[in-house]
Amino acid sequence: MDPFEPMYLKDVESFDAPGEMGDRIRAMKTAGIPVPQLLHLFAYKPDRSIPLGQFTQAVLRGPSPLSPGMRELIAAFTSRHNQCLF
């Protein structure tokens, strides 16, 4: 699945989100940069994306025997292997 293909949820994709996430999406569109579908979902229901963001930060930045850089590298490698943008 291409993360930049149009969504099936047109109301989500066309939602003009307020705040920082909406600003990011508008800036990407203005610059001609494709907007990943996940960003549209985060902007549509930001309160629903907070736990996912907290989880991601805990995994990548929380206490671990691996450095944050090594964890980022593992995530990037895994994404590339799965043909998913990181």
Task: Give SS3 for 1.
Answer: coil
Q: What is the pLDDT of residue 8?
A: 77
- The residue written with tokens 């993360």 in the block is 3
Q: What is the pLDDT of residue 2?
A: 64
Q: What is the pLDDT of residue 65?
A: 96
At 73, the amino acid letter reads L
Dump strand ranges (E) for the chain.
none
| Mean per-residue pLDDT pooled into runs of 10, the chain (86 residues) | 70 89 93 88 87 90 95 91 75
Q: What is the pLDDT of residue 3?
A: 61
CA 27-29-35 angle, to 5 degrees, is 100
- The residue written with tokens 């939602």 in the block is 15
C-alpha torsion 29→59→19→30, nearest 10: -10
